[in-house]
A and B are shown apart, each in its own frame.
Chain A
Amino acid sequence: MHEMSLVAGVRELIEDAAVREGFSRVKQVRVEIGQLSGVEREAFEFCFDLAMRGGVTDGAQLEVIATPGRGHCPACGRETALTVVYDPCEHCGAAPVAIIRGTEMRVIDLEVE
């Protein structure tokens, strides 16, 4: 359950941005959570509501963009879908493939006023 720590990290990034950018309220937070990032989306959403209470983030809505896992197969050179980090290449069956997307945990942007 490190989702609570992660949303606490989101709040810190927002509070830093509030000082830097000069806003007093966040209406929406867009985050990208890759499907290979080890983050449980439901837990993240649940923790988000708790962690944003009070201050500049109070009442902020969350939008999660769940990036699917993608890999590059060193054997056949093609791109392949990954649901877990050790999935073999869907084209030629080689494993492991190099992960190129899906491990992201980023705050993309904020809608503020």
Chain B
Amino acid sequence: MCTTCGCGQGETKIEGQEQHDHDGHDHGYRPAHGRTVKLEQDILAKNNAYATQNRERFAAQGILALNLVSSPGSGKTTLLVKTIEALQGRQKLAVVEGDQQTSHDAERIRATGAPAVQINTGKGCHLDAHMVGHALEKLPLEKGGVLMIENVGNLVCPAAFDLGEAGKVVILSVTEGEDKPLKYPDMFRAARLMLVNKCDLLPYLQFDVDKAIAYARRVNPLIEVIRVSATTGEGMADWLAWIEKGAAAVRG
């Protein structure tokens, strides 16, 4: 991995970005004797430094950045499409899409008219702050707007990687197990808001919403919860109000 800009020789691809070469980096090690070197450094220090850069950029432009995380199949992209449609004319919105492969999701977002950049992580199971920083170079961000970062569908790894967002929004759909907050506590602990999605399907399922919320609060007593259905529009007004309140707070 390149230690100057952090780019790996891995498989991450960002739409519209050419591979850049690493000529001119110097890795000249000098010989020395056997000894102990104290580091005392966080393993995520590099990621966190990139996250800080992203966060400063969002703050300077008054942008509310949200990191959307969930299992695969929770309905994140559909919810995002409906959210963008509902906020059209009210709120400037741009999207960073993370998936291992394909640009299907970014295409779905662009079909709404909102700008979107796809990041393909290859074998990577999460977005990191460095990838997002590069994606931002390709994305027209409006001052005072909202940036939605749809992370790779995965309830484990994205919990550890700060992207510079104002908050993580975890989406739990009612077709999943209601005990997911206990099974994947790190993610629910890291999230500010839980959206319980696909609530229109509740009459056909055994899913106990109150239990799911109680589990989430056991892990994270401060987590906010909104019940939504991207299909019927239930709860969407509350979700949109939550976004707009957050965006107004960031604009100051």
Contact = CB atoms under 8 A, between A and B. Distances in A.
Contacts of B38: 108-109
A62 interface: no
A66 interface: no
A111 B100 CA distance: 37
Nearest to A88: B218
B8 to A, nearest CB: 7
B39 interface: yes
A77 interface: no
Contact of B186 (A17, A19, A85, A105): A85
A101 interface: no
B205 interface: no
B218 A23 contact: no
Contact-residue bracket for chain B: 35 or more
Contacts, number: 118
Contacts of A14: 39
Interface stretch (B23-31, B62-70, B85-93, B142-150): B23-31
Nearest to A111: B36
B34 interface: yes
Contacts of B128: 5
A106 B43 CA distance: 5
Interface stretch (B105-113, B154-162, B225-233): B154-162
Interface of A: 1-2, 5-6, 8-19, 21-24, 27, 31, 37-38, 56, 84-86, 95-96, 105-113
Interface of B: 1, 3, 6, 8, 27-47, 124-126, 128, 156-157, 159-161, 182, 185-186, 189, 218-219, 221
Sorted nearest first, the 5 A-B pairs with minimum C-beta distance are A2-B157, A22-B30, A113-B34, A105-B43, A24-B29
6 contacts: A2-B125, A19-B27, A21-B32, A23-B37, A24-B32, A108-B39
